[in-house]
């Protein structure tokens, strides 16, 4: 609940004003039964019609004040809940945006989506309900008991005897509810993951005729979630019937005792009628408190899940003590790996003690089979993951001594399965950066994308979610345009031309060589034709470098490279690029 209180604190004045209005309207509500008892027992026996109308007008006035106060206070409560949750969502989104890849892998994308949506909605509910009922329900409960003590202490004591039992039930169920709702949220994460995978992989599922298999997989997670929801609902459902039974039992006792006391002359009819009204008020207040405990249990579980993300260190805060102010060494290699090792989640090393250097303005190709660690090298350069041992230097500086924004601003990157956003072509290229139109047009031309951009309707043409309205080759050219538009110091193309035909790929490489001579280019690929003319080619296998050199050198010294060349180029060692 500390998280909820932290985000509600900026709206404290609005909350206090709303609670004050709610207090006044609740007091008006409490006055009405007392005034009714006064009219029946004291005013009607006098036969004074004017006094009856006067007290009746007082009851109407109290009702109007109660209605107006509740409506106003509820509207204020809703606005506070809206603003509190809006701020929480904003901070949670920013935090998620700056989580390291390691932390994203730990949480997983489906659970981050669930925490951003389902959990924040639970917080929204509890913030609004606490303001609407947090004062009204306890005040009606306590105020009702106080007024009934004044009206008839004996009947009141009979009524409040059940309250300790009700309190014990609520505390026990609430503690159990937090754990149960947390389990539900974990299962909901699993369901979101399966739905997300099915939505993004719909084409593959249909192509392989695996719809029935996916239905079965969904049924499994859905049944698990439904079972937990059923169990939780069954346990939490004990609260309302228990409270109703206790209060109705007390109500029966009060009516019987009231009848005996009126018959004995120790109480009056108006008092008993008022007492019954107050008993209903107390019953409803107790039920409202019960609902608050139920929703608070769910919100507490959600707040804990949200807080786990908020308390995770952001990438931009690492390291916290600042950075060294060293300057690049012009004589040092542009990029250098020194005995670098890395593994995901402490598993077997994916990159195992590799060392290499890349001179400035050079073109380096990296080729290997799938899963050999090609893309991981690019991720490590940009510090998406932290290495286990060794050093990575850029311009002679350790990347751990460089601010992340400075490090990553040096790169222009196209990753495997990179993302296009639902926006226009120009905004997908610019992506919020300060890049002028001339740079964008040049990048589009160099990426061989100018023809299709014109055919699509120009730079303001719409791009669908994930570029679903574009072909694979069009997507790749648009992504390459994005990478080139910032005139990067280091350009990384990770399998960025796999969907391009050989002719377009050759034109692209020619433009890179002629127009981006000042950039250091790293081309990660499985296609030898894309890197044949590179200054140096690295051949990876199982996280180790098995060969390095030019195409001609590797054809003589590296058996794996010769095998790849034979399979792709028919054994021709000097195929034309």
**Domain spans of the chain?**
2-314
pLDDT of residue 326: 58
Structure tokens at 25: 């309207």
According to DSSP, the residues that pair with 302 across neighbouring strands are none
Residue from 134, 141, 142 nearest 16 by CA: 134
According to DSSP, the residues that pair with 393 across neighbouring strands are 336, 398
pLDDT, tens only, 350-388: 888 899 999 999 999 998 877 777 888 989 999 888 888
| Best-predicted range by mean pLDDT (105-114, 138-147, 207-216, 439-448) | 439-448
Mean pLDDT lowest for which of 270-279, 335-344, 372-381, 409-418? 270-279
Predicted TM-score (pTM) of the model is 0.73
The CATH number given to 2-314 is: 1.20.1560.10
- Residue with more model confidence, 371 or 486: 486
pLDDT of residue 323: 47
Whether the per-residue pLDDT at 287 is higher than 80: the answer is: no
Tell me how crowded residue 349 is: count the other CB atoms within 10 A of its CB: 17
Helical axes 163-200 vs 211-236, angle rounded to 10°: 170
Mean pLDDT score of the chain = 83
- Residue with more model confidence, 58 or 291: 58
As a whole number of angstroms, the distance between CA 518 and CA 535 comes to 14
As a whole number of angstroms, the distance between CA 492 and CA 413 comes to 5
Mean pLDDT of 227-253: 77
pLDDT of residue 426: 92
Q: What angle do CA 414, 418, 424 make, to 5 degrees?
A: 95
Q: Is the bond preceding 319 in cis, omega lying within 30 degrees of 0?
A: yes
Where residue 194 falls (left for φ over 0; alpha for ψ -120 to 50; beta otherwise) is alpha
pLDDT band at residue 327, thresholds of 50, 70 and 90?
A: low
pLDDT of residue 573: 45
Residue from 373, 381, 375 nearest 334 by CA: 381
Distance of CA 84 to the CA centre of its chain: 16
| Best-predicted range by mean pLDDT (34-43, 260-269, 339-348, 425-434) | 425-434
CA distances from 568 to 497, 529, 562, 573 (A): 15, 9, 10, 11
Ranges of beta strands (E only) in 452-500 are 462-463, 490-494
Mean pLDDT of 308-312: 88
Burial label, 78 (beta-carbon count in 10 A; 0-12, 13-18, 19+): middle
pLDDT of residue 340: 92
Q: How far apart are the first and last CA of the chain?
A: 63
Residue from 124, 105, 102 nearest 8 by CA: 124
Whether the per-residue pLDDT at 336 is higher than 90: the answer is: yes
Whether the per-residue pLDDT at 78 is higher than 60: the answer is: yes
pLDDT of residue 29: 84
Residue from 165, 79, 182, 183 nearest 128 by CA: 79
Any idea what DSSP says for residue 370? T
Helical axes 269-310 vs 239-264, angle rounded to 10°: 160
């Amino acid at each position: 609940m500390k998280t909820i209180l932290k985000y509600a604190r900026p709206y404290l004045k609005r909350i206090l004003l709303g609670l004050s209005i709610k207090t006044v309207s609740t007091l008006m509500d409490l006055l009405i039964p007392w005034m009714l008892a006064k009219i029946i027992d004291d005013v009607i026996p006098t036969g004074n019609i004017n006094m009856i109308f006067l007290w009746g007008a007082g009851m109407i006035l109290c009702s109007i004040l109660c209605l107006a106060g509740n409506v106003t206070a509820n509207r204020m409560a809703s606005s506070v809940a809206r603003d509190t949750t809006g701020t929480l969502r904003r901070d949670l989104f920013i935090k998620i945006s700056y989580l390291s890849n390691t932390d994203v892998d730990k949480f997983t994308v489906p659970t981050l989506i669930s925490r951003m949506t389902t959990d924040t909605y639970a917080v929204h509910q509890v913030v609004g309900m606490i303001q609407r009922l947090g004062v009204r329900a306890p005040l009606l409960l306590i105020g009702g008991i106080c007024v009934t003590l004044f009206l008839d202490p004996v009947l009141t004591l009979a009524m409040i005897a059940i309250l300790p039992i009700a309190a014990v039930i609520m505390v026990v169920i609430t503690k159990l509810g937090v754990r149960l709702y947390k389990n539900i949220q974990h299962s909901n994460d699993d369901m979101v993951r399966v739905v997300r995978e099915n939505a993004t992989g719909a084409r593959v599922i249909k192509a392989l005729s695996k719809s029935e298999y996916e239905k079965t997989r969904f049924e499994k997670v859905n049944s698990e979630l439904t079972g937990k929801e059923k169990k939780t609902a069954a346990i939490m459902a004990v609260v309302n019937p228990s409270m109703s039974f206790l209060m109705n039992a007390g109500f029966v006792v009060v009516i019987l005792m009231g009848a005996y006391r009126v018959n004995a002359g120790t109480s009056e009819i108006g008092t008993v009628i008022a007492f019954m009204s107050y008993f209903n008020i107390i019953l409803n207040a107790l039920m409202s408190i019960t609902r608050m405990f139920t929703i608070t249990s769910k919100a507490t579980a959600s707040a804990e899940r949200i807080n786990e993300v908020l308390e995770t260190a952001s990438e931009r805060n690492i390291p916290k003590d600042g950075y060294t102010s060293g300057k690049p060494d012009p004589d040092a290699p542009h990029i250098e790996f020194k005995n670098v090792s890395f593994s995901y989640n402490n598993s077997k090393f994916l990159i195992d003690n590799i060392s290499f250097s890349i001179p400035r303005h050079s073109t380096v190709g990296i080729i290997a089979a799938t899963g050999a660690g090609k893309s991981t090298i690019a991720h490590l350069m940009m510090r998406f993951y932290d290495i286990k041992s060794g050093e990575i230097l850029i311009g002679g500086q350790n990347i751990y001594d460089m601010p992340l924004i400075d490090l990553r601003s040096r790169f222009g990157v196209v990753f495997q399965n990179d993302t296009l956003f639902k926006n226009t072509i120009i905004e997908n290229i610019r992506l919020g950066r300060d890049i002028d139109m001339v740079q964008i047009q040049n990048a589009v031309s160099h990426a061989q994308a100018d023809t299709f951009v014109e055919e699509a309707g120009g730079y303001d043409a719409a791009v669908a979610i994930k570029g679903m309205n574009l072909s694979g080759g069009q997507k790749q050219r648009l992504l390459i345009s994005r990478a080139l538009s910032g005139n990067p110091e280091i350009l990384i193309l990770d399998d960025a031309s796999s969907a391009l035909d050989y002719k377009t790929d050759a034109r692209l490489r020619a433009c890179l060589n002629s127009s981006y001579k000042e950039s250091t280019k790293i081309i990660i690929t499985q296609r030898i034709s894309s890197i044949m003319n590179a200054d140096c080619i690295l051949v990876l296998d199982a996280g180790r470098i098995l060969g390095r050199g030019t195409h001609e050198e590797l054809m003589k010294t590296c058996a794996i490279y010769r095998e790849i060349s034979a399979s792709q180029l028919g054994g021709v060692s000097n195929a034309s690029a």
